[in-house]
Amino acid sequence: MQPSRDIQRLIEIMAALRDPQTGCPWVVAQDFSTIAPYAIEEAHEVADAISRGDMEDLTDELGDLLLQVVFHAQMATERGAFDFGDVVEAITTKMIRRHPHVFADVAADSPDAVKRNWEEIKQAEKAARGRAEKPVSRLDEVAASLPALTRSVKLQKQAAKIGFDWPSSKAVLDKIREETDELAEATQARASRDELRSELGDLLFAVTNLCRHLDISPEQAMIEANAKFSRRFATVERRYDQRMDDGDGAPDIDEMESWWQAAKADD
């Protein structure tokens, strides 16, 4: 089977991999629940390629993410639930319906107007599917399966819709200081692991709130922070290995900190 730019070839490849008789044993053994984590992982790898500005890697990672869609569609086809064409039709229908300012005669001359239209259309869609009843909580709109930092931001946005929000980023910074002080007190008082975890959770929630006020994705901020740490630690690691190879013994933390600061200055 030859590679191709045609999406149909990818669908055929996945069908061949899933063939119970001649396919790949590992692929055949998978189901929706076992594959779902890979879809999340691939989405993060796409974001990582974007953060690094690596277009060649981004091409590859987008392909991996697309494979996850085809994988799930193939498993659904086998069950007679839906196929890849249904997925494409569903998203094209949704995009046309949710952008009437582009494909119809609805006015929306600003991003805020687009967002308002989008939310109104979403509610109308739910009503059409027989889900017009009022949810128990506005927060029920936020999927529990989202990454924790992302879910925090979405929960806060839902609460902010009725005015339950800090007035400014300065107020959130004050809250972060308050949570930091409470964590320090809990640590000093030798609080239990459960109490410390609770205080740490409060602090992380406040930090994601600051990200939201500054319009910064906490997930992306952490991706970039991890990359920065890895880049700077590589310098420390090289110096450490060189010192050990020279037989000078392990450096103390102060010396390694000086290497870190040098790497930071060169970054």
Single-letter code of the amino acid located at 248: D
The domain that holds 56 is classified in CATH as 1.10.287.1080
What's the pLDDT band for 134 if we cut at 50, 70, 90?
Answer: low
Domain boundary among 74, 98, 122: 98
The mean per-residue pLDDT over the stretch 209-234 comes to: 92
Domain check: are 153 and 82 in the same one? no
Domain check: are 169 and 183 in the same one? yes
Q: Which domain holds residue 79?
A: 7-98
Domain check: are 148 and 74 in the same one? no
- Taking the whole predicted model, whether its pTM rises above 0.75 is answered as no
Domain check: are 195 and 250 in the same one? no
Residue 128 lies in a domain: no
Domain check: are 93 and 15 in the same one? yes
Tokens linked to 231 = 């880049």
- Asked if 85 contacts 69 with a C-beta cutoff of 8 angstroms, the reply is no
Domain check: are 144 and 63 in the same one? no
Give the pLDDT confidence of 238-248 residue by residue, as tens digits: 999 998 988 88
Residue 117 lies in a domain: no
Residue 191 lies in a domain: yes
Domain check: are 212 and 224 in the same one? no
- Asked if 117 contacts 100 with a C-beta cutoff of 8 angstroms, the reply is yes
Number of domains in the chain: 3
Domain check: are 14 and 74 in the same one? yes
Q: Which residues contact 109 (CB under 8 A, 6 or more apart)?
A: none
Residue 235 lies in a domain: yes
Domain check: are 88 and 12 in the same one? yes
Domain boundary among 216, 238, 253: 216
Give the pLDDT confidence of 31-41 residue by residue, as tens digits: 999 999 899 88
Residue 20 lies in a domain: yes
Question: What is the model's pLDDT at position 66?
Answer: 97
Residue 119 lies in a domain: no
Q: Using alpha carbons, select from 179, 183, 210 the residue that is nearest to residue 195.
A: 183
Give the pLDDT confidence of 65-94 residue by residue, as tens digits: 999 999 999 999 999 999 999 999 999 999
Quickly list H helices, the chain: 7-17, 25-29, 32-52, 55-79, 84-98, 100-103, 111-128, 148-160, 169-188, 193-213, 218-245, 253-266
